A and B are shown apart, each in its own frame.
Chain A
């Protein structure tokens, strides 16, 4: 029996030997905070896409029709909420550093929703038929990602980012996992003239995402915007190879070892052994999108 299986609160996870963090949002936000871009004290210096990432919330999952839904256990989950504006993105980050190279695993129980709307918000949208609900088409994507920097040398810094795309930029269902093939410019790169659409923290242009082989997956939206079903997610990455290892979401496990992870060509100062973990939600409609995490376990083999 693994050490986690012996603990009733951890037995729904499968952590590596050393648990770095067990974030049960029934007792606070555990260091998950709003991502803010770089600035010199003047917030006018923020890149537009990094200027309004919204504060995380402790949510009761309360809805107008059924009241409080609650979480997997207890009452609260961490909620990330976008504004009701197309391509707005809400991002939470947890900032650590790494003590060694090796495996790091992020596990979570999560769910996702678009806000309830009333009346015909999108003329021409597929109609409610008692099973399918048009609210599902209001949800854009959520992404898990890291920000790693081993030292100050060129190519020491990289971001691995894995996105569940429910709908694409045009709002059409795609329901698949993606990885990114381009870098979003850092503030320093932008100041040097790098072009960006400024509507996705991960990439400068929307065509910089590619499908993960075998990554088509329909999740459990469950028919209406006020029923939440919690999903298991496990993401493993390797600091020694600078690659993703695998991503498991319920019964689908994707081998990611051949998926390229882009590195920054420049060296970065003052972020040695950076180990940031991030989650975000991005809407492709003018409807608020929500990502909820009941709990998170971050573990390592070092």
Chain B
């Protein structure tokens, strides 16, 4: 039986500016899949970007190299990652004039 765990990293959270998700430990898993469920995305030219970041210690971060395609409408979006070491987070950018996003972010880990 394989191990699996789904963490709700952001729950019905509203953002008006760029943000990073909280650090999440994932050393036990060899595969991961992010889900971003955008419930609302408002503002003139509003869009959301999300880059995967990794870290050796949960304190200092760098880009993993993978990223979601730019999100410009409500909906469910997903991205798979591997070889991420011990920690994962998303570095999210909110573009557009007076933008606002309300969303869920899930991290599904499997070993």
Which residues on A are within 8 Å of B, measured CB to CB? 27-29, 34, 36, 43-44, 46, 51-52, 54-55, 57-60, 62-64, 75-76, 79, 81, 83, 115-116
Contact = CB atoms under 8 A, between A and B. Distances in A.
Given A55-B9, A64-B59, 6 more contacts: A51-B11, A58-B5, A60-B25, A60-B28, A62-B25, A62-B58
Contact of A55 (B3, B7, B57, B59): B7
A44 B11 CA distance: 10
A54 B11 CA distance: 9
23 contacts: A27-B3, A28-B3, A34-B8, A43-B11, A43-B12, A46-B12, A51-B11, A52-B11, A52-B13, A54-B22, A55-B7, A55-B8, A57-B7, A57-B24, A57-B25, A58-B5, A58-B25, A59-B25, A60-B25, A60-B27, A64-B57, A75-B27, A83-B22
Interface string B70-111: 000000000000000010000000000000000000000000
A51 B27 contact: no
Contacts of A62: 25, 27, 56-58, 86
Interface in B17-33: 22-25, 27-28
A60 B86 contact: yes
Contacts of A76: 28
B2 to A, nearest CB: 11
Nearest to A65: B57
A162 to B, nearest CB: 27
Nearest to B59: A64
Contacts of B24: 55, 57
Contacts of A54: 22
Contacts of B12: 43-44, 46, 51
Contact of B57 (A28, A29, A63, A79): A63
